[in-house]
A and B are shown apart, each in its own frame.
Chain A
Amino acid sequence: MSKSVVIAIVDDDEAVREAICDLLQVEGLAARTFDGAPAFLAETEADFDCLITDVRMPEVDGLELQRRLRARGSSLPVIFITSSSDPVTRRRALEEGAAAWFMKPVADEALLQALRSALGAGPVDGASA
């Protein structure tokens, strides 16, 4: 039997992370929310099937979070949702193995599509869609 899918959501803005959590819920996807990268890093990443994270956050930002996961040897798919339109940061995130990159506000269908894709296959760049 396969274990149920759990998505991790990391965003320092409570309203944003709860909104994404609710979106996943309506599609029958379980999710856990974290108010920052350190809280998530304290968890065992193997318990999660995908990570949705903000980029700009206090202490540890989203890119650094992805780097630390990769440094641990984790291949957990990472989807970035950000207010930043900086193309350099986006390119770097994708080069460093991001599954997808979206600008806020993200369209629900696009996010779910990327999620399904990440749970199965390769990267999606929502910013160039």
Chain B
Amino acid sequence: MVPAPLIEAGAGSDLYRAPLPLRATIPHRIQDDPSARSALDISDARELIAKIASGAPPLGWIDTLLSQVRFADVNDTIVQMLAPFAGAWRMIGQPVSAFWPPESRPVLAELIMAAVADYPTGAPRTRASTSLGFTDCEVTISTSEDDASPDILIVSVGGTVMDDRSLWMVRASEQRYRNLLHHLPFALLQVDARQIGAVYEGLRRSGVTDLQAFLDEHPDLIDTANALVMVTEVNASAVTLFGVDSVADLVGPVGYLFAASPESARRVMTARFEGRRSYAEVMKLRTFDGRLLDVAITLTYPRPPERLDVTLISVEDITDRLGTDAQLRQLQADYSRAARISMLGELATSIAHEVNQPLSAIVTNAETSLRWLQRPEPNLSKVGQLMSRVAESARRASEIVQRIRGMAGRNAPEQSALDLNDIVYEALVFVRHDLETRAIALTLQLGTGLPGLLGDRVQLQQVVVNLLLNAAQALAMDQSAGRIDVVTAISPDGMLLFSIRDNGLGIAHTDFDRVFDSFFTTKEDGVGIGLAICQSIITAHGGAITASNHPDGGAIFTVLLPPIAPE
């Protein structure tokens, strides 16, 4: 069920003064009247009015009557009084019963009946009413001053405000709200979602707890919501963002917001159904002038006890920012890869050794197998055993080659769930032999039961290799027996911790501020990008890297990375 738009907004029209969708024309403009005034259209209620007048009012005739009488026009004052957050556009054309307070409805219904009976000569009639924000409240009704509009009645509400100051404060607050809304630098939409709220209530009463599942079976509810939820007010930034001419172009069913991202509508609905206070996501937005933007939308849902069912939706264009972010990520990836290639070159000997070991075993095992086969009585079981070792070594060589390829490849950074200790082991392939050559003793103290982390395997391997190389090279400048201690653990504040400590000379105090700077190096043949790369990779993973000197000597580099959040 998709209701027709409540209004048809004209280009260039002002929010409160757009052409009215009325059957009856209203010669009498009520806008400039300082009291709370509205024009009521009784054309749809003629039949019922006649029936009531004949002395046979049906049961519940007051509500029925007020549901057939519509607002033809409202001034700002009555909007403030009856529906401050819905706005004039939500009132015009709608039944009076949707807005008039229940306790005052009998008074209004009786006044309508009296005014119709008086037509065309009746003087204005006034009756005291409860509520409506006044003490000594009075509702006055008169027929239209223009004889040509017998279906229009003018209703005004007046009285004494008990606390004059509080009313003005409310008005001032309302004005501040409006100023804020209209001058915010990002697009803001105010929507009225009461009707879909009522639908949700019905669903809950009928036992629906999982809206996602319900929407799977009833996808048409999304269209219904897009049609039922009404944008009642938007600010100037929204007009610019959506590429329309005026505010009125955006007032109406909210569906246009989700035209390019139907799945977002679904998530927004679910968030409200689940009673969430707010919801935010990045989605695609198709503007009215055809642009496709990346926008961050944030919804603030109404919630009891506020009762005012006003949802605020902010929409921020982040297309440029995302583009810049993507470029930065690409630069970082290219930079990391360049550093990896350089690192692989530095480690060529070590890597060659790693590959050569299994190849060497393969050659010897194959030659030994031939010797067994060339015997007068070939020992096939021995040959079988050797062949399985050949296969095992070949697989090992292949894995090493894969890792090298991963390091050298132009793969885009890829997020996957990783084990920190695996990363350390994998990185050792590249440096183990280099450390042995330098006669550096390596100890591993790897924590057990560590949580996983989300990251790019190759880049994190690169960090470990870089830090190990850095430590090894620091030790090379020292004469004492080299030693590197690698620790993985969980830090006191729940972060994954990885530290590398060497027993070298440590970092000069004057260098602490610069160790992570690009092109800073203390090595004669160093380029000074290793640690800068480490920092950029770790930062991109939401972590931190620090350098310090251990009290017992040597430098210690500590990396902290966020673990995967528990489900």
Contacts and interface: CB of A to CB of B under 8 A. Distances in A.
Nearest to A24: B368
Top 8 A-B residue pairs of the complex, sorted by shortest distance between their CB atoms: A105-B363, A104-B360, A19-B364, A15-B361, A108-B367, A105-B360, A83-B353, A19-B361
Contacts of A19: 360-361, 364-365, 368, 389
A116 to B, nearest CB: 15
B267 interface: no
B441 interface: yes
A35 B383 CA distance: 24
A127 interface: no
B359 A105 contact: yes
A106 B360 contact: yes
A7 B358 CA distance: 22
A13 B357 contact: yes
Interface residues of B, number: 29
B495 interface: no
Contacts of A81: 360
B161 interface: no
B123 interface: no
B368 A26 contact: yes
A84 B364 CA distance: 18
A16 B396 CA distance: 12
A22 B437 contact: no
A23 B389 CA distance: 13
Contact of B364 (A12, A83, A105): A105
A61 B433 CA distance: 12
14 contacts: A16-B364, A18-B389, A19-B368, A20-B364, A26-B368, A26-B382, A61-B436, A83-B352, A83-B356, A83-B433, A104-B359, A105-B356, A105-B363, A108-B371
A13 B437 CA distance: 15
B273 interface: no
A23 B439 contact: no
B367 A107 contact: yes
Interface residues of A, number: 24
Interface string B404-439: 000000000000000000000000000001011101
Interface string A67-84: 000000000000001011
B235 interface: no
Interface of B: 352-353, 356-365, 367-368, 371-372, 382, 386, 389, 392-393, 396, 433, 435-437, 439, 441-442
Interface stretch (A43-51, A52-60, A92-100): A52-60
Q: Name the prevailing secondary structure of the B interface residues.
A: helix
Given A56-B433, A106-B363, 16 more contacts: A15-B358, A15-B361, A15-B392, A16-B357, A19-B360, A19-B368, A22-B368, A23-B364, A27-B371, A58-B441, A81-B360, A104-B357, A104-B359, A106-B360, A106-B364, A108-B368
Given A15-B358, A61-B439, A108 B364 contact: yes
A20 B364 CA distance: 7
A27 B364 CA distance: 13
Contacts of B393: 15
A16 B360 CA distance: 7
A19 B353 CA distance: 17
A114 B393 CA distance: 25
A12 B357 CA distance: 10
Contacts of A22: 364-365, 368, 382, 386
A83 B355 CA distance: 10
A92 B356 CA distance: 23
Contacts of A12: 436
A59 B439 CA distance: 7
B441 A23 contact: no
A27 B379 CA distance: 13
Contacts of B389: 15, 18-19
A107 B360 CA distance: 9
Contacts of B353: 56, 83-84
Nearest to A81: B360
Contacts of A26: 368, 371-372, 382
Contacts of B358: 15
B360 A83 contact: yes
B360 to A, nearest CB: 4
Contacts of B359: 104-105
Contacts of A18: 361, 389
B209 to A, nearest CB: 58
A15 B361 CA distance: 6
Contacts of B360: 16, 19, 81, 83, 104-106
